[in-house]
Amino acid sequence: MDLTKRFNKQVDKIAVSLIRQFDERVSSIPNILKLTLGEPDFNTPEHVKNAGSQAITDNFSHYTGMSGLPDVRQAASQFLEKKYHVSYDWQSEVLVTVGATEAISASLLGILEPGDKVLLPAPIYPGYEPVITLADAEIIYMDTSDNGFVLSPELLEATLEEHGEKVKAVILNYPSNPTGVTYSREEVQALADVLKKYPVFVISDEIYSELTYDEDHVSIAEYLREQTILINGLSKSHAMTGWRVGFIFAPKELTKEIIKVHQYLVTAAATVSQKAAVQALVEGINDAQVMKKEYQERRDFVYEKMTSFGFEVAKPSGAFYIFAKIPANCIQDSMEFCVDLAEKEALAVIPGIAFGDAGEGYIRISYAASLANLEEAMTRMERYITEK
Ligand SMILES: Cc1ncc(COP(=O)(O)O)c(C=O)c1O
């Protein structure tokens, strides 16, 4: 009896992300230096950890309501208002999720039906496509690689026109993983002006909003509240990846629907994590600043080194990634390049193909690593490139 044949056919079409696959593949190489995973190398701030410990002592070991503890939702709504000038009613328009990951799944599964189309700027973080596929919807890419990885309003409008009524949602992610590129106020406004003409949901994943280096982050919800499902969380801003806290902010009619999917996926986010989240959002409202200063130094260092080695890089203005074009004299296939680099120099970076076809020919370096490790990584990269 082969029960695997009886699986949901859509599951056959998805796979463990290439980022994880590649990371596992190179992990056994002796002395490997990994700049692979998108996670802060900082520890969660002490005061936030203490709030988590206190919550355990105080027996916060029961379920919370589906949408999360009132004090977290209030704190999240105030955080958003203070930082990005968008306001959501904490009682009916805020959901606490298990990381941004569950926020993405609950939103997409809440809105998609078989045959719907979802537009994605490419290259793109690989956390959306599998959920779209599970819902039997179709992915349409908008390749931004010849426009400095910025989605232009013209390309967005042309794609919306081409695919017509079947388009159910557009996903935005800025600052972007993998490119680090973000959008200025004018760019956000121009995209919103196009989107408001179409009856589509806009899922805006702004998980890196606290990590912008040049200008303050502008949420598209400021211009397009009624259509936007805004996703954020504490993984990157407060170095809390393992606590699994994310948020959905959306108009109450949409939240009311998404909450049903959220309930049956997870019931609610972990209670101890939610208590720590209140501390992070209120007392730690500016915790990202210290990390941001260090990330910026690292960005400048890696950017300068990589360009001096002959890589073309669109200078990132957010997140903690450098997305670099492989120089012409090197292996052009990004997977082969990264495997060769890992085998010869014990340096692991992610092949651009992990972010879709539009990422082929590039590599992604995560600079969420100590300056000492980045210096060593750049020494290895230079040796590899000059020996080509
Ligand atoms: C763009 C983007 N969205 C979502 C996530 C997932 O975040 P979380 O840890 O909150 O689930 C990541 C993590 O790397 C990401 O880069």
Secondary structure (DSSP) of 169-194:
EEEEESSPTTT-----HHHHHHHHHH
173 lines ligand 1 (CB under 6 A): yes
Helical spans, DSSP H, in 28-175: 46-57, 70-84, 99-111, 129-134, 153-163
107 lines ligand 1 (CB under 6 A): no
Residue linked to tokens 């596929």: 133
* CA 386 to ligand 1 centroid distance, Å: 35
Residue of 283, 258, 210 whose CA lies nearest to 95: 258
* CA 101 to ligand 1 centroid distance, Å: 6
Query: Residue 352: helix, strand or coil by DSSP?
Result: helix
Neighbours of 239 (CB within 10 A): 22
Residue of 139, 51, 33, 56 whose CA lies nearest to 366: 33
Name residues whose C-beta falls within 8 Å of residue 199's C-beta, 6 or more positions apart in sequence. none
Give pLDDT, residue 336.
95
Give pLDDT, residue 20.
87
What is the distance between the alpha carbons of residues 96 and 224, in angstroms, rounded to a whole number? Answer: 21
303 lines ligand 1 (CB under 6 A): no
Give pLDDT, residue 16.
87
* Count of all residues that appear for the chain in the document: 388
Give pLDDT, residue 387.
83
Q: Do the Cβ atoms of 340 and 331 come closer than 8 Å?
A: yes
pTM of this structure = 0.97
- Residue ID of nearest Cα to ligand 1 atom 16: 177
User: Mean pLDDT of successive 10-residue segments in the chain (388 residues)?
Assistant: 89 90 91 93 97 98 98 98 97 98 98 98 97 98 96 98 97 98 97 98 98 96 98 98 98 98 98 98 97 96 97 95 96 95 97 97 97 97 91
101 lines ligand 1 (CB under 6 A): yes
What is the distance between the alpha carbons of residues 137 and 287, in angstroms, rounded to a whole number? Answer: 39
What are the CA-CA distances from residue 312 to residues 306, 339, 361 (Å)? 8, 20, 11
